[in-house]
């Protein structure tokens, strides 16, 4: 993630004062994207490339794959950008490879993802805080890419006012409408999958009941 203060000074696209006046016009710091384009294989039977880039599991560990496949890459420079910023890619991989050798490296979740010391990078999002937990309890089909609550909560608080309508045209399990209701907005969602739609409506009703239910503190 780029430094938004420096970015604003160069482009005048961002600004703290303008953000407080009208957050709806504001953007956010622009991350550096790595776009991967793949030549289509001549045979789609197995979707492998005509000249696949193969790796031996003896040389390319599961630990290294976890670090490489993560969406946030830290600088591997020898000089720290800021105090406490020094990071070494190989040291990180070695630590995880030792865990893998001792059979302590989880195969279903990333034990030690790269962390950022910048508050501009949301690396504290808990990916397990999703509606898939509710789906599991009800033994229903889990969504293939559930949206974490943390991202939705921060975004709605940043870019909407209480009482606004928040629309998600690709609602999935209706995470965005559910959180919108929780935060005092009106949540609207559109979803083609009938099972996800039914589940989403259920979660919206459940959240609405919780939001509207009076508590002891309301009477006090």
**Per mean pLDDT, which of 58-67, 80-89, 175-184 is the most reliable?**
175-184
pTM: 0.59
Could you report the per-residue pLDDT of 89-146, keeping only the tens digit for each? 888 889 999 999 999 988 777 788 877 666 656 656 677 788 888 888 888 888 888 8
All structural domains of the chain, each given as residue ranges with its CATH number in brackets, are 1-34 (no CATH), 57-117 (no CATH), 132-219 (3.40.50.150)
Give the pLDDT mean for 170-183. Answer: 95
Q: What is the pLDDT of residue 218?
A: 64
Q: What is the DSSP string of 208-219?
A: HHHHHS--HHHH
| Cα–Cα dist 80/59, whole Å | 29
Which residues are registered as beta bridge partners of 166? 187
User: What is the average per-residue pLDDT within 54-81?
Assistant: 78
* Angle made by CA atoms 197, 201, 203, in degrees to the nearest 5: 115
Per-residue CA distances from 138 to 66, 96, 133, 201, 206 (Å): 31, 35, 9, 15, 14
């Amino acid at each position: 993630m780029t430094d938004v203060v420096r970015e604003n000074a160069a482009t005048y696209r961002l600004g703290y004062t303008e953000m407080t006046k009208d957050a709806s016009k504001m953007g956010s710091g622009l991350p550096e994207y790595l776009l991967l384009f793949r030549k289509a294989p001549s045979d789609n039977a197995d979707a492998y490339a005509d000249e696949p880039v193969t790796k031996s599991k003896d040389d390319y560990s599961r630990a290294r794959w976890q670090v490489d496949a993560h969406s946030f890459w830290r600088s591997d420079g020898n000089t720290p950008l800021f105090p406490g910023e020094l990071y070494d890619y190989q040291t990180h991989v070695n630590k995880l490879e030792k865990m893998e050798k001792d059979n302590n490296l989880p195969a279903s979740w990333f034990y030690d993802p790269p962390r950022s010391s910048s508050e501009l990078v949301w690396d504290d999002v808990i990916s397990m805080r999703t509606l898939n937990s509710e789906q599991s309890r009800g033994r229903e089909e889990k969504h293939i890419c559930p949206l974490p609550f943390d991202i939705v909560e921060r975004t709605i608080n940043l870019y909407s006012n209480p009482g606004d309508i928040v629309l998600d045209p690709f609602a999935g399990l209706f995470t965005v409408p559910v959180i919108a209701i929780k935060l005092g907005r009106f949540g609207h969602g559109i979803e083609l999958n009938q099972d996800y739609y039914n589940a989403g409506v259920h979660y919206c009703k459940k959240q609405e009941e919780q939001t509207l239910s009076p508590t002891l503190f309301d009477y006090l």
